Structure 1
Amino acid sequence: MPLPNDEKLLALANDLLQQFDQIFGLNPGLRPAHAKGMMLKGIFHPAPAAASLSRAPHFTRESTPVSVRFSNSTGVLLIPDNDPNADPRGLAVRFHLAERVHTDIVSHSTDGFPTHTGAEFLEFLRALASTKPDSPHPNPIEVYLGGHPTALAFVQTPKPAPSSFARETYYGVTAMRFLNTNGASRHGRYRIIPEAGNDHVSAEAAAAKSANYLFAELDERVAKAPIRFRIAVQLANEGDEVNNATIHWPADREILEIGSLELTEKVGDDAAEQKHIIFDPIPRVDGIEPSDDPLLELRAAIYLLSGRRRRAA
């Protein structure tokens, strides 16, 4: 995918990358966020209702091969799985539609995002970076959160550690516009739900676990049996705000199940594949279009810039 021509957008993307580097250290061969990860592969099977929502090829075929990446937050490769900063967890899914043709879902385990725009997110990261353990109160991040209630709500949302990556629900950050063969369209946000059910551990129980407990458990789990998730879309109603990732839709909005993921094994060369693959938050496939959420183009630019840097390292 090409970089956008918008110079202001590219400058903001580079500023955000530099800010991540300042917080987590410069690691060109790693992702600036969600550095610690593991990749599996499997199959996506669409549900009967999927084609009524979208004409996208993976919604209408019998099955589509997938690659997925589970990850911890932060740009620290060796962050312990039981470190509270490792939440929210990430799950990215690539649907392999044809040779060198694909579309992705990028999600994390907290519903929503702290800011509406990239400029706000940069301000958030700068406040975080400038807050030191001995900073007087109110420190920079406290000042920022005090003036940004949606960021405060995201930070204060409980983020308990899962017992397994396979026992966590993951949420698409931004809305997409789904179009079916009749031309009808609905906006919706992805939700990836574990077939085994959600299961979290207390802070005390997490602290007692090993630093690599989630990835070790994932490795053991997939070796024994397939890991299964249901993919659903929470659908917006007419009048719902679809271009702001900080706004939650009411709980009564329809959740349409569109298919299932069956993950069967690790990818062949995990480290090399993680370094090479660049996930894309913009769908770039007929039948699914991006919303006008300002985070989408920015996130795509950051992923591409950091991915190219990672491959060159």
Structure 2
Amino acid sequence: MNSMNNTGDSMPTDAIDTLEKIQGRFPGARRAHAKGLFFEATFRPNGNAIAYTTAAHLQKEAVSATVRFSNSPPNPTASDFLSPFKGMSVQFHLPDGTASHLISTTIPIFITKDPKTFIDMLKILTATKTGMDKVDLGIGVLNIIKKYPERKNILLALQEQFKQPPISYALLHYYPIHAFYFVNQDGKRQAIKYEWQPVQEKEAWLEQPAAKITSPDYLEEDLHERLKNGPVSFNLVIRLGTKDDATDDPTVDWSEDRQQIVVGQLTLNKALFPNEPILFDPTIVTEGIELTADPILHFRHDAYAVSYERRMKNE
């Protein structure tokens, strides 16, 4: 595992404590993205990444993978319709018995580059609870914008996803948010960003008035039904960074004119029903991939560890 701790001991615990105040504590569940479904999958690299990395799963041989699609709230019973954005987490199972992880969401950038600011934003949300002990997200977002006006665009983009529920997990684009370094056999480093692109491209979002969703689990049901009728696949794309692209700031989306390369395809094989102890960690990467100095990336490692410990204790 290639990781480092830059966040201090108290902030990850503070973040998890604050998340628990937004919708409450759900013993045994993840503190975010609590509701999810798992699949066994196969990732087939096409060799296009070989010039940039020695990572075993990005050469020429197919590897197995475990994939989890998820809603974002901490409530494991939250309706698919109400969840603001979605997640896709992948564990690539490497030939030597290790794994490399890739954790993605439907938002291409993060709301802040500073863990302290992120925790403060969460606390602003918890201050907007109604008499029903529920957070008023609309007021909360407005209050965050007042204090952090420079984050207005990304916060409004998050709000928009409440208005446009997705049709299917299978049709969404997923972004790991952070930059990483690829390292090739000559030791040359190349900054990259990833994106999962659905092979079946079509309109992925519903206008709310047109949405006819009767089940709180409609996304799960849809994905199971799609898999019965044919393959569900995603292309893994890398975008090559230049010397001017920030690698330590997840609030910056690299320009669309950066070179993009398809490096492989992930195909879901069948549903899995594993025990929840499975942990996805964005800092677990294999040889040939290195972490950047992004503070949020390393903070996530520490916060996930706190959440995992509480899950294991059924707290």
TM-score under structure 2 length normalisation: 0.90
Contact 1:131/1:141 (<8 A) preserved: no
List 4+ stretches of structure 1 deviating above 4 A.
1-6, 138-141
Contact 2:121/2:144 (<8 A) preserved: yes
Aligned residue for 2:53?
Answer: 54
Q: 1:239 aligns with which of 237, 240, 244?
A: 244
* Partner Cα distance (2:81, 2:279) in 1: 26
Contact 1:90/1:109 (<8 A) preserved: yes
Pair 1:180-2:179 in alignment: no
* Partner Cα distance (2:153, 2:58) in 1: 34
Shift of 1:4: 6.3
Aligned residue for 1:145?
Answer: 145
Q: After superposition, where does 1:108-119 map in structure 2 within 5 Å?
A: 108-119=105-116
* Partner Cα distance (1:2, 1:236) in 2: 21
Residues 258 and 149 from structure 1, CA distance in 2 versus in 1: closer, same or farther, beyond 3 angstroms? farther
* Partner Cα distance (1:218, 1:208) in 2: 14
Aligned residue for 1:32?
Answer: 31
Residues 38 and 128 from structure 1, CA distance in 2 versus in 1: closer, same or farther, beyond 3 angstroms? same
Amino acid of the residue matched to residue 147 of structure 2?
Answer: G
Pair 1:131-2:133 in alignment: no
Q: What's the % identity of the aligned pairs?
A: 28
* Partner Cα distance (1:286, 1:16) in 2: 30
Contact 2:115/2:296 (<8 A) preserved: yes
Deviates more, 1:92-101 or 1:139-148: 139-148
Amino acid of the residue matched to residue 250 of structure 1?
Answer: S
- Structure 2 segments unaligned to the other structure (5+ residues): none
Amino acid of the residue matched to residue 101 of structure 2?
Answer: D
Q: More helix per residue: 1 or 2?
A: 1
Aligned residue for 1:95?
Answer: 92
* Partner Cα distance (1:202, 1:139) in 2: 22
Provide the aligned length of Structure 1 versus Structure 2.
Answer: 305
* Partner Cα distance (1:28, 1:290) in 2: 32
Aligned residue for 2:41?
Answer: 42
Aligned residue for 1:156?
Answer: 156
Contact 2:3/2:298 (<8 A) preserved: no
* Secondary structure in structure 2 of the residue aligned to 1:181: coil
Pair 1:196-2:185 in alignment: no
* Secondary structure in structure 1 of the residue aligned to 2:311: helix
Shift of 1:246: 0.5
* Partner Cα distance (2:233, 2:251) in 1: 28
User: Could you list the per-position Cα deviations for residues 273-301 of structure 1 after superposition, in whole angstroms to 9, with x for gaps in the alignment?
Assistant: xx111111113311101111001111011
- Structure 1 segments unaligned to the other structure (5+ residues): none
Q: After superposition, where does 1:232-311 map in structure 2 within 5 Å?
A: 232-267=237-272, 269-270=273-274, 272=275, 275-311=276-312
* Partner Cα distance (1:254, 1:5) in 2: 31
* Partner Cα distance (1:209, 1:252) in 2: 41
Q: CA RMSD in A?
A: 2.3
Amino acid of the residue matched to residue 108 of structure 1?
Answer: T
Amino acid of the residue matched to residue 31 of structure 1?
Answer: R
Residues 115 and 213 from structure 1, CA distance in 2 versus in 1: closer, same or farther, beyond 3 angstroms? same
* Secondary structure in structure 2 of the residue aligned to 1:107: strand
